[in-house]
Structure 1
Amino acid sequence: MTGLRSRLDAGKVQLGLCAMYPSPGIIERIGRDWDFVWIDSQHGQQDYRDILETIRACEIAGTGSLVRVPWLEAGAIGKALDAGCDGVIVPCIDTIEEAKLAVDAAKFPPYGRRSYGARRQIDLHGRTYADTANHDQLLVVQIESPAAVDIAEEIAALPGVDALMIGPDDLLLRRGISMSQPRSPDLLRSDMERIATAARNQGKLAVGLGFDTAMINLNLELGYQLIISGGDVGFLATSSAAASAQARTVVEGVTVTAAKPGNGPY
């Protein structure tokens, strides 16, 4: 059993980092601060080799790894799982039929039709990795439309679906809400509650996002067990802007006499 799965089975809340840039070195450095890393190959910049190396970096850092594949496509799902991640996130699941296709791709029989033969899994864990893979490697389906929210409990009830994840931005857009409005408890509470309730009623996990105290508290109140609470994009942009602003306050108004041409050593 993987570390992430065992911690979830023990009921522990797990905090996640979203990784959108193809930089395993970032994960080696800061991955240990988090319980799992959400490797976003849907909207992030990772290709397969980046995913593979980021999973390896997660293992070095001692943190879990969940790969969001670009779309509902069996090849991409199987390839991510074969690379050794702790689970896959499949975006934009709107119907029971789509959820069943995700199960087919992510799970070995009797639940699905995942193809056996993962090179890395066999190299690391032997040919019996498939005996526990259906439990050890999570299938997270992402609920991102009002139609999907309406059938969230039916999706959660499918054998092989391990967790439901809210897709807050797409849900807001599909409800006619502009991206100029921040994710807030008032805007998301209803959808978050329905998704979490559906997961809980079926004995499944709920995955949410909470980048500030109010949203983290809402996730906890509703029973979300995996909460993405940081991201490489935000850390890079915020820290860079803060460092630049601090440095500029020091140099503001200072001028330096330029060297005159011809006075240098060359």
Structure 2
Amino acid sequence: MIPMLPTDRALRDRLAGGEPFGLVWLAIGSAAIAEIAGGTGAQAIVIDLQHGLWDRLGLEAAVGLTRAPTLIRVEENTPLAIGRALDSGADGVLVPLVETAEEAAAAVASSRFPPQGRRSGGGVRPLGGGFGTYLAAAHGIAVGVMIETARGVENATAIAAVPGLDFILIGTGDLGLSYAGTDDPEARREAGCAAVLAACRAANLPCGIFTLTAAAARARRTEGYALTVVANDIDVIRTGFAAAIDAFAADAR
């Protein structure tokens, strides 16, 4: 039988309970790496369709192989992109570049079956394992949006108040680009992050932030962010190879 969403992977309920999450971010497009990452005890895995190398078959394989909860960062905020990601059996979606409450509400609607939303029912994994079982488990699907622009920061309070939204994650890279050309863009970006975190706290909504290292993830966690990126596949592989080459070359120096 094609695996469905096990009850112990109900990401939405765990987020609502205030559990902090260390995310592993996967962009290379390898289901084998996803399986390995899922076996390390990762609290959740993000499969990045927006900037990553994933195709649909690789996505389906990765979701089926990893034992950790899976979030899919979709390419765009459309019913097709969100529905296709959730048809894989993933535990949730992460929608990029959301700037208004209306856009956040659209993401929620695209992620929920009627009457709560407008998601279409289907998919090889749901139908292969029994759609009734999948439908019953769909309440556990988490819906997150990314605030990554100055306009999104300005509307953070309204976005955080959208019914059915489960978390917000700050995209620090694009947010920095949004403030480029202003006076002290780094300070503006940090102020923007703080504003989003405050808006989430006021709405009792988990707030996450993209980080590049485990040390940065720990530091952000102490600031109150509920989701941080502990590792990403590109850096883990690059630093692992570099460390091995350096260790091998050390005797020759």
Fold shared by both chains (TM-score > 0.5): yes
Residue of structure 2 equivalent to 1:83: 88
Query: Larger Rg: 1 or 2?
Result: 1
Map 1:158-237 to 2 at 5 A: 158-176=162-180, 188-212=189-213, 215-237=216-238
Pick which of 145-154 and 242-251 moved more. 242-251
Unaligned runs of 5+ in 1: 179-183, 253-266
Map 1:65-76 to 2 at 5 A: 65-76=70-81
Distance 1:109 1:11 in 2: 27
Contact kept, 8 Å, 1:196 with 1:224, in 2: the verdict is yes
Pick which of 203-212 and 138-147 moved more. 203-212
1:123 corresponds to 2:119: no
Report the 3-state secondary structure (helix = DSSP H, G, I; strand = E; otherwise coil) of the residue aligned with 1:115: coil
Residue 126 of structure 1: how far off its partner (Å): 4.2
Deviations 1:9-47 (A, max 9, x none): 443211111101121111222322211111001101001
Distance 1:208 1:119 in 2: 32
- Change in 2 beyond 3 A, CA 1:158/1:78: same
Map 1:12-91 to 2 at 5 A: 12-33=19-40, 34-58=42-66, 62-91=67-96
Unaligned runs of 5+ in 2: 1-6
Residue of structure 2 equivalent to 1:11: 18
Sequence identity, in percent?
A: 31
1:93 corresponds to 2:98: yes
Deviations 1:31-64 (A, max 9, x none): 2221111100110100111111111121xxx211
Residue 213 of structure 1: how far off its partner (Å): 5.9
Contact kept, 8 Å, 2:214 with 2:230, in 1: the verdict is no
Distance 2:222 2:196 in 1: 13
Residue of structure 2 equivalent to 1:148: 152
- Which gives a bigger RCO, structure 1 or 2 (Cα 8 Å, sep 6+)? 2
Paired residues, what number? 243
Deviations 1:61-94 (A, max 9, x none): x211000011112111001111111101111111
Distance 1:231 1:196 in 2: 23
Residue 197 of structure 1: how far off its partner (Å): 2.1
Which one-letter code corresponds to 1:14 in the other structure? F
Q: CA RMSD in A?
A: 2.4
Contact kept, 8 Å, 1:19 with 1:38, in 2: the verdict is yes
Pick which of 18-27 and 4-13 moved more. 4-13
Residue 212 of structure 1: how far off its partner (Å): 3.9
Residue of structure 1 equivalent to 2:4: none
Distance 2:115 2:197 in 1: 26
Deviations 1:108-157 (A, max 9, x none): 23432111234422433641533452x31111111010110111121121
